Structure 1
Amino acid sequence: MEFRILALSGGGYRGLYTIAVLKHIEQQAGRPIGQCFDMIAGTSIGGIIAIGLALGKTAEDIEQVFLKRGEDIFPRSNWKLGRIVSRLRKPFGAKYRNRELRKAIEEVIGDRALIADAQTRLLIPAVNMSDGQVQMFKTPHHERLTWDRNLLAADVAMATSAAPYFFPMASIKNSNYVDGGIVANAPDLCALHEAIHFCGQEIENIHILSVGTTSSKFSLPNSLGRDLGAFAWLRKDRLLSTVMTSQQQLVHFMMTHHLKDRYLRIDREPSSEQTSDLGLDIANEKRRATLLGLAEGSYRSFTASTQLKAFLDHRPALLDFREGLA
């Protein structure tokens, strides 16, 4: 029996591309896109989307929050002195406060929803900095998976999206967490492992639809030289972009070998002009228009795809993880 997974990459505000692609796909499906999958995995902004979809939210509703809240989450001062003060603060704290991020997350998934309220299996990567271990937040879809069920979904969303340098670490119980993109910016391989080892699936039955964030490649010109210091690596998100994109390339390569034509990746490589216009934390009107245009172009490329249609025709039973809550 087929087991179909939706895997959503991280990428800061470029996640607007992800949710816009999903909105177009959802319109083709004629029902909430989360209902088409047996599991949804997501990292960082992809994790926020994944949790929202698993809780029954529509892609269109989530997109509206991103459009409305983007500039609140990633504010840009139009006042020259304000920009100077912001730059001076960066070495001593996170670039942004996470208050507006929390508001946006709660608007997407609510402030009381629990992980066990999800209607679809969830897998959400983060890194626990208090004990130095990778953390995979999960619905209780296996008898051994009971720890996360009572966690607030909004807390988990904050943990997977707490990007170092950009936001403060997120706290759950007695542990501090940073963005899952540090370890699994593309959670596809983690989801494959989960399906096999915790959901009892044979690899021949697993199909994965993976959606990126227009950040499949990142390179530096040789003119920058080889001896880059901390400032040069942090400038223009170079270090984080290198970590994210190199992970994604490796995962895509391995997934193609593992699943062959049962793996469908939707992403768009921006032109050099568009790349210079985009950023992990740029959310103004022009950037929004660029991301929405890229999403529309990507969807058009897959409209007639029989692979995509097979995902949309899939109708798994909605799950209820709430029984037996402590």
Structure 2
Amino acid sequence: MNCFFNGTPIDASPFNRVENICDSLLSSLIVDNAVSAKQKYFTNGDVMEIDKTDDRNIRLLCLDGGGIRGLILIQMLSVLEEVVRLKVGDCFDWIAGTSTGGILALYIALGNSASECRKLYFRLKDKVFVGSRPYDSEPLEKFLREALGEETKMSDIQKPKVMVTATVADQFPADMHTFRNYTFPEDIVDESKGKFNKRIFHKPCDQLVWMAARSSGAAPTYFRPCGSFLDGGLISNNPTLDALTEIIKYNASLDAIGKSNEKYTLRAVVSLGTGSIPVTQVPIIDIFRPDSLFGVAKMAFMASSLGQLLIDQMDK
């Protein structure tokens, strides 16, 4: 229904039109609310001054994974900096990132501008993505140590709060791990009760920034795992929901220890992706029990195709 015989949707479908109308109305509403909320921050002509009268009102920036397509993130951040005439890190109180977005989140949190991020990625392309994949992990690690600091710890980043996702891959089921430069929400409650929360991973004061970036960007078939970690995009390629959940947990922890007056109020969320890749037709993946040598070969090919599909889906 509402498609051609081969399943290709008809652009003129009434369902597509309704979806486009809803998207347009929602986008207009969001923009109108954002503009009305920001009008009072425009002074001295077209210069925007970021309101810092209440540190408990926060703005959240979320950066998706996507490999070298992180340049798309950088371009959007560059436009944002042109509008507000401030560095990205000065516009947000909390930054979340995954994979390439995680590297950017950490680089921004260290005080770098979008222009400096662009230079970083061109160097990354020239020094790390050399030859065909899988790429050698050693140049990547050397590059991250030079860019983020060999001895810089997560706790050295005072502002903004930053969280970077990775996948714990040495267990089943795999789980998401978040590298932070602040106290884990559950640890807030445990510390107030004099408990020791035995965690298998480093606390912010012990976690190296470049290692967090390396762990978040350990994409299968591109680079080797970083210890027990694989690319965060396997579980959370868009970290927005995880970041929102993190803030809710953080506030709940403050409630639990009687510090409700220190809770955060989320004022704005900016979630940036790495673009949409063209849709291409691929063979149907059909994995079955083989009954011949040809079937064995076909199943092996299909299993490989399934793995590639999952990896490519992560990059989207």
**If the length of structure 1 is used for normalisation, what is the TM-score?**
0.61
Q: Closer, same or farther in 2 for the Cα pair 1:106/1:21, shift >3 Å?
A: farther
The 5 A counterparts of 1:167-316 are 167-171=223-227, 176-199=228-251, 205-215=266-276, 219-221=279-281, 224-227=283-286, 229-233=302-306, 238-245=309-316
SS of the counterpart of 1:205? strand
How far did 1:36 drift?
Answer: 1.0
SS of the counterpart of 1:7? strand
How far did 1:115 drift?
Answer: 0.4
How far did 1:187 drift?
Answer: 0.2
Find the counterpart in structure 2 of residue 122 from structure 1.
162
How far did 1:138 drift?
Answer: 1.2
SS of the counterpart of 1:170? coil
How far did 1:112 drift?
Answer: 1.7
Task: Please point out which of 206, 230, 247 is paired with 1:150.
Answer: 206
> Are 1:166 and 2:222 counterparts?
yes
Matches of 1:71 and 1:226, distance apart in 2? 35
Q: Closer, same or farther in 2 for the Cα pair 1:204/1:51, shift >3 Å?
A: closer
Matches of 1:204 and 1:115, distance apart in 2? 24
> Are 1:10 and 2:70 counterparts?
no
Matches of 2:204 and 2:278, distance apart in 1? 35
Find the counterpart in structure 2 of residue 133 from structure 1.
175
Q: Is the CA contact (8 Å cut-off) linking 1:8 and 1:212 kept in structure 2?
A: yes
Matches of 1:199 and 1:241, distance apart in 2? 36
Q: Which residue identity lines up with residue 231 of structure 1 in the other structure?
A: S
Matches of 1:142 and 1:199, distance apart in 2? 11
Q: Closer, same or farther in 2 for the Cα pair 1:28/1:141, shift >3 Å?
A: farther
Matches of 1:39 and 1:130, distance apart in 2? 29
Q: Is the CA contact (8 Å cut-off) linking 2:129 and 2:135 kept in structure 1?
A: yes
Q: Closer, same or farther in 2 for the Cα pair 1:20/1:53, shift >3 Å?
A: same
Q: Is the CA contact (8 Å cut-off) linking 1:218 and 1:242 kept in structure 2?
A: no
Q: Structure 2 unaligned runs (5+)?
A: 1-55, 189-201, 253-261, 287-300
More displaced 10-residue stretch of structure 1: 224-233 or 21-30: 224-233
Q: CA RMSD in A?
A: 2.6
Q: Is the CA contact (8 Å cut-off) linking 1:65 and 1:107 kept in structure 2?
A: no
1:91-137 CA-partner distances (Å, limit 9, x unpaired): xxx71111222233234322221101112111111112234432111
> Are 1:97 and 2:163 counterparts?
no
Q: Is the CA contact (8 Å cut-off) linking 1:142 and 1:199 kept in structure 2?
A: no
**If the length of structure 2 is used for normalisation, what is the TM-score?**
0.63
More displaced 10-residue stretch of structure 1: 94-103 or 147-156: 94-103
Q: Which residue identity lines up with residue 221 of structure 1 in the other structure?
A: Q
Q: Is the CA contact (8 Å cut-off) linking 1:6 and 1:40 kept in structure 2?
A: yes
Report the identity percentage. Answer: 28
Q: Closer, same or farther in 2 for the Cα pair 1:68/1:54, shift >3 Å?
A: same
Matches of 1:202 and 1:115, distance apart in 2? 22
Matches of 2:281 and 2:231, distance apart in 1? 27
Q: Is the CA contact (8 Å cut-off) linking 2:57 and 2:264 kept in structure 1?
A: no
Q: Is the CA contact (8 Å cut-off) linking 2:218 and 2:225 kept in structure 1?
A: yes
Find the counterpart in structure 1 of residue 255 from structure 2.
none
SS of the counterpart of 1:100? helix
How far did 1:197 drift?
Answer: 1.2
Matches of 1:147 and 1:68, distance apart in 2? 30
Find the counterpart in structure 2 of residue 111 from structure 1.
150
Q: Which residue identity lines up with residue 73 of structure 2 in the other structure?
A: T
1:267-309 CA-partner distances (Å, limit 9, x unpaired): xxxxxxxxxxxxxxxxxxxxxxxxxxxxxxxxxxxxxxxxxxx
